[in-house]
Every structure is written in structure tokens, then in C-alpha cells.
Structure 1
Amino acid sequence: MKWITHQLRWQLGTFDSQMGSLLGAVTFIVAFMLSGTLTDYRICEDIPIQIVNAIESIQDSNLYLAARKLEYDPQPLTQGLSDIVKSILLWLEKAEPLEQIEKNITDLNQLFVTFAINSDAPIVARIQGEQAKIRVLVARIQRIRDTDFITPAYPLMQLLSGFSILALLIIETNEFTVNLMISGLICLSLSYLLILIYDLDNPFEYQGKSSVDVDLSSLKRLLEQLQRHQKTI
């Protein structure tokens, strides 16, 4: 497009301080958005691990009680935790309804009744705290998927980026080849960064829609571990 505008002599001006100010403003906005989305992404990376830790804490208490009292059957609670992990993975990767996760978390209350009969109050309070933590983390993932980082800033970023690319197409310099290379590099960088920011802003998208999704391997390993426990119990 730069070569076409040059051949058609559609270049309307030369590079000056105003053009430099425009590129500086675009750079500031893009850097601000990229920094914010990267910070949010790093926070999101820890959420699956926190869910895994909460579920493992409940399962540890479950196995501890089974070893302490032979009449206690840990199988139902293990199955309940396995159902939670499975429903979370289906929700994230296959867009299954969130309601199933909420139901599975709530169903733990019935399983905790049997646990409480055979256990001590502090341990029961601990696993209920972990249950509440799972519910909070799932709600946080839902909020992240439904909202954008500073939504009003996106139109401004798109507007400034569009004007910058248009200005680069119609601005000329003494050396066209150098102008072509620099303009192409700047346009490529802006386009890539815009795509990256939108990608980072929803790290729980999945289904092939994003290339920077949060890693769910810890949840998958936990599901396999719970299923192995069910077979050995």
C-alpha cells in the first residue's frame, strides 16, 4: 500500500514533529495497555494452580480421615472433587455451562456431612474454607472472561493506531526505500501488538481462538490423580 500511494503520488506531506508526536502517543497507549494486560495475565496464570491446591487440600484431609478411621469411605468425596475438576475443564475448553460447576461445588456440602460425623471441627472448617476458595476462583475466571482491561481505552488505541498507519502511508521522505522499510516495520509492529493485547486480555478463551491461553495442565494432572485414587480405594 505504501508503494501504491507513492506511485500514485498520494503522499501529502513530509515527516515532521507532529507526526513524531502522534507516533509517541500511540507508543504510550500501546505500552500502557500491554503492561496492564500482561500483569493481569500473570495473575490469571496462578488461578488454575490455586484451584488445584484447594482441591488437593480437601483430598488430603479426605485421605487422612480414611487412614484414621477405617469405617470412613473416602470414595464419594473423591468422586465429588473429580466431578468439579472435570466440569471446570469442560467449561473452559468446551464452553459447557457454568451452572454445572456451581452445582458440583454445592454438592460437596452433602459429602461434608459424612466427613464431619467422623472428623474434628477444625478439619471440617478447613475443607469448607477450601470449598469457598474454589467458588471465588471460578467466579474470578468468569469475570475475567466477561470483561476487558479498561474497555474505554481500546477505541482510543484503535483510533490512534489507524491514524498512525494512514499517516505513514501518505507521508514521504527523501529516501523512499528507507521510508518503505521503516513504515512497514512500524505497521507490522503495531498490528502484532494490537492482536497480542486482545489475545492476552482473555487468557481463558480456548477453542483455538487464542494463542496465549493459561495452561490447564495442572488441572488435567489433578483429574488423572483423583481418578487413580478412585481405582485404588
Structure 2
Amino acid sequence: MKSEGLIKKSGRKIWQKWSIAIRIIPLIILIATLKIISHNYGLEVIELNALFTSLVAGTIFLIGFLISGVLSDYKESEKLPSELSASMKSLFDDTYTIYKSKNTPTALEFIEFQKSFYSSLVDWFYKNEKTESILKKISDMNHFFIELDKEGIQAGYIIKMKNEQNSLRKMILRIDTIRDTDFIGSAYAILEAMGFLIGCCLLIIKIEPFYASLFFTLVVTFLISYMFMLIKDLDNPFDYSQNGESGTEISLKPIHDLKIVINDFI
């Protein structure tokens, strides 16, 4: 059983590492086929020149501009699951302390509510629950704070839990913004157009010998396609509904680890 787990883990790592390259293979096969057809039917009518190399260089520059932009958001996104988990853990700890010290029914109800909220949060990451629903549940925590105040719980505890509630709301909204907003859509459009033009030019450019031309065509196509798909993946590091927790998606391990804390709470 242990060896099977190691095999699955190593297989998952390999897929995460090469998933983009594997997804590009059909495009590479298509380009190779079209290049062979173009060569056999004498459609290679353009000679390699400086204008074409300038087009490739301009595309590489634009790729560098885009990837530098999305990386800043990606670095910020890496912190969000851990911070989200820390805020929820802090809420659990404070509620548990109140329950054990005061034995209040509201604290116990709040613990059960947080268990339900955790399940909803995981569903939200996979887009099985709407953002409005998650935000409403965060606001519903106010009912428990009011009851705890009526039961005479120290204001310091309630203020601390209110701060964690506010932190949860901010992080949920930030994640929602990152996954639903593309980085400069017009830049993606021009990159797609330039990539398409380069692909078309590669099919009709004549380079001797033919096998060198075919190799050059496939390498350039692979690099541009790979970088474009990488940028698209980095632009939405929370796309679990489409890709699961693989590839360039941010790891939800801190959130999953929180489940152990929740189950052992009472």
C-alpha cells in the first residue's frame, strides 16, 4: 500500500511538471503535418529574413512582459491559503477556549458552524458554491458574536474573532478577484495574434534543408505555445474546477490540513 502511494505521488508530480507540454502535443503534431504538406506541395514561398526574426523577438519581449506581471499576483496568491487557514484556526482556538472555560452553548454552536463553513469553503474553491454564499456565511458569524456578548464573554475575545472574520472576508474577496480577472486582456489578444502570424509564417518559410526547417518550426511553436499556456495558468492559480490541484494551481494543503484540526476540536 505504501509503495502504491509513492507511485501515485511520483506520478502526480510528473504530471504537474509536464502537464502543459503534454497538452501542447496535439498542436505540435498539427503544425508538423501542415509543414510537411506545405513543403510537398511547394507552398514555402517566403525566404527567412530579418523582419520575421524581429517579429519573433517582439513576441518573446511581450511574453516576458506578461509573465513578469502575472508572477507578482502568483506570488501573492501562494500566501493566501496559508493565511486563510491561519485565520480559521485562530477562530477555532478562541471558540474552543471559550467553550472549555465557560461551557456556553453558543460557543458549541459556533464550532459546529465553523465545521460547516470549512466544507463550504472547500466547495467554493472548486466553484461548487457561490462567492455570495460564502460572504453571507462570514457575515452570519455576527449572530454568534452577539450571543457570546450577551453571555458575558470578555470583549477582547469577541474583538479578536471579529478581526479574524474581517481577515477571512478580505482574503475571500482577493482570491475571487484574482481568479475572475484576466491580466490585461488586450495584451493576451495581441500575443495570440502574433503567435498565429508566426505559426502561419513558419509554415510557408523556406529553409534548407527541410528537416532543419521542420525542427525550427516545431521548436518555435512549442516555446511560444508553452509560454502562452503557462502565463494563462499562472494568471488564474485558483482554477481548481478545471484543473484540480495540479499543474500551476496553488496548493490547498494548508486548507486540507485544517480538516484534522476541525475533526479533533471536540
TM-score, structure 1 normalization: 0.89
**Structure 2: runs of 5+ lacking an equivalent:** 1-33
Which of 176, 179, 203 aligns to 1:145? It is 179
1:76 alignment counterpart: 109
1:197 alignment counterpart: 231
Question: Which letter does structure 2 place at the counterpart of 1:28?
Answer: F
Matches within 5 A, 1:126-205: 126-205=160-239
**Structure 1: runs of 5+ lacking an equivalent:** none
Indicate conservation of the 8 Å contact 1:49/1:218, yes or no. Answer: yes
Indicate conservation of the 8 Å contact 1:72/1:118, yes or no. Answer: no
| TM-aligned CA deviation for residue 173 of structure 1 | 2.1
Asked if residue 225 in structure 1 is aligned to residue 261 in structure 2, the reply is yes
Q: Secondary structure at the match of 1:126?
A: helix
Q: Distance in 2 between matches of 1:194 and 1:124?
A: 48
Asked if residue 61 in structure 1 is aligned to residue 91 in structure 2, the reply is no
Q: Secondary structure at the match of 2:239?
A: coil
Indicate conservation of the 8 Å contact 1:80/1:107, yes or no. Answer: no
Indicate conservation of the 8 Å contact 2:87/2:164, yes or no. Answer: yes
Q: Distance in 2 between matches of 1:84 and 1:47?
A: 17
| TM-aligned CA deviation for residue 81 of structure 1 | 1.8
Indicate conservation of the 8 Å contact 1:63/1:74, yes or no. Answer: yes
Change (3 A) 1:109 1:73: closer
Q: Distance in 2 between matches of 1:83 and 1:71?
A: 19
Q: Distance in 2 between matches of 1:70 and 1:7?
A: 83
Indicate conservation of the 8 Å contact 1:83/1:104, yes or no. Answer: no
| TM-aligned CA deviation for residue 177 of structure 1 | 1.6
Question: Which letter does structure 2 place at the counterpart of 1:149?
Answer: F
Question: Which letter does structure 2 place at the counterpart of 1:69?
Answer: K
| TM-aligned CA deviation for residue 28 of structure 1 | 0.9
TM-score, structure 2 normalization: 0.79
Give the RMSD, CA atoms, in angstroms. 2.0
Question: Which letter does structure 2 place at the counterpart of 1:225?
Answer: V
1:15 alignment counterpart: 48
Which of 53, 60, 63 aligns to 1:27? It is 60
% of aligned pairs identical? 27
1:192-225 per-residue CA deviation (whole Å, 9 max, x = no partner) reads 2222222222222223446322222221221332
Indicate conservation of the 8 Å contact 2:88/2:164, yes or no. Answer: yes
1:162-206 per-residue CA deviation (whole Å, 9 max, x = no partner) reads 111111111122332212111111101212222222222222222
Q: Secondary structure at the match of 2:37?
A: helix
| TM-aligned CA deviation for residue 23 of structure 1 | 0.3
Which of 112, 118, 123 aligns to 1:85? It is 118
Q: Distance in 1 between matches of 2:208 and 2:143?
A: 78
Question: Which letter does structure 1 place at the counterpart of 2:116?
Answer: D
Q: Distance in 2 between matches of 1:130 and 1:39?
A: 25
| TM-aligned CA deviation for residue 129 of structure 1 | 1.0
